[in-house]
Amino acid sequence: MPWTRQHLLTIEELARAEIEQILATAAAFKAVLGRKVKKVPALRGKTVVNLFLEPSTRTRLSFEMAAKLLSADVISFDADRSSTTKGESLRDTAQNIQALNADMIVLRHSAGGSPLYLSKLLHIPVVNAGDGAHEHPTQALLDVFTMREKLGDLRGRKVVILGDILFSRVARSNIHALTKLGADVTVVGPATLVPLWFRALGVRVSHELRSALADADVVMLLRIQHERQAAGHFPSVGEYTSMFGLNKTRAAWLKPDAIIMHPGPINRGVEIDSELADSGRSVILQQVTNGIAVRMACLYLCAGGQPEHVLAPV
């Protein structure tokens, strides 16, 4: 089946077969990254603009590395020194980037739906690098890629997503990706951050940590998204940690081979203790590494590449 999408906006809109195509393409790029010459000419002559209007470390740097490894020219937009500080709108900023002959925009923005908006406005591909509390598709893709490396087929595997589910784009994208790949997902946390209506997305909702962790193959921790919460959803950070933080005692409730994931940034001592974040069962840094190959796949496919034509090194 050929890849037909110009944009990568959400996991929700992808069919399982499309997720499989991205993961297979990422696996091919990961093999290329293991070679002496890591660069491929797939995007030679193209310019990718990273339009990040919200802070980022992992996503921005790995999109930049991915584009460079595909031989694209990359421009990382400096929001603090741009005309957005003078009131220029997203629409005008993006149209000017297109007028400068950019070939692709990678967008991070605090407004959910902003990548969809740009995809309708522009004629160049738009890749969503996180839009508000809506979706973070490439994060979920690198998460399921990492889980499959560790666990194989995800059908029937039990994945617990623990933390601030309500305000998390990572949770939403992972719920869509994991349920499409046949995993059994439970979302866990305080009732104010894990409302029962998440059941409509095909997941279990739990507010009781011990029973949820007992049969998990994966526990994915999320930080509290203070920047998106208009009001307190729990009495204090200390109280959250005392009820839901993953510490050594609670990690003992997990099966011995269960893996610990986190999309980052980590708040050590809040949602996860340092000794667990740095332990042998943590795959947090493998997630970051896999982000390069997964983002290479997303850029390559949206630029018109086909999964079966992943190119040889330069």
Minimum CB separation from ligand CP for residue 62, in Å?
A: 8
Minimum CB separation from ligand CP for residue 77, in Å?
A: 15
Minimum CB separation from ligand CP for residue 218, in Å?
A: 16
Return d(Cα 45, Cα 59) in angstroms, integer.
23
Minimum CB separation from ligand CP for residue 213, in Å?
A: 22
Minimum CB separation from ligand CP for residue 176, in Å?
A: 16
Pick 44 or 226: Cβ nearer ligand CP: 226
Pick 226 or 255: Cβ nearer ligand CP: 226
Pick 32 or 129: Cβ nearer ligand CP: 129
DSSP letter string over the chain?
Answer: -----S-B--STT--HHHHHHHHHHHHHHHHHHTSSS----TTTT-EEEEEE-S--SHHHHHHHHHHHHTT-EEEE--GGGSGGGGT--HHHHHHHHHHTT-SEEEEEESSTTHHHHHHHH-SS-EEEEEETTTB-HHHHHHHHHHHHHHHS--TT-EEEEES--TT-HHHHHHHHHHHHTT-EEEEES-TTTS-GGGGGGT-EEES-HHHHHHT-SEEEE----GGG-SS-SSS-HHHHHHHH-B-HHHHTTS-TT-EEE--S---BTTTB-HHHHTSTTB-HHHHHHHHHHHHHHHHHHHTT--GGGPPPP-
Q: Which residues bind ligand CP (CB under 6 A)?
A: 56-59, 130, 136, 139, 263-265
Pick 57 or 211: Cβ nearer ligand CP: 57
- The candidate with the shortest Cα–Cα distance to 303, out of 23, 59, 66, 27, is 66
- Amino acid present at 160: V
Minimum CB separation from ligand CP for residue 187, in Å?
A: 18
Pick 173 or 186: Cβ nearer ligand CP: 173
Pick 3 or 50: Cβ nearer ligand CP: 50
Minimum CB separation from ligand CP for residue 54, in Å?
A: 8
Pick 137 or 305: Cβ nearer ligand CP: 137
The residue of the chain with the least Cβ separation from ligand CP equals 59
Pick 62 or 305: Cβ nearer ligand CP: 62
Minimum CB separation from ligand CP for residue 136, in Å?
A: 6
The edge-to-edge listing of strands for the beta sheet with 184-188 is 204-206, 184-188, 158-162, 218-221, 259-261
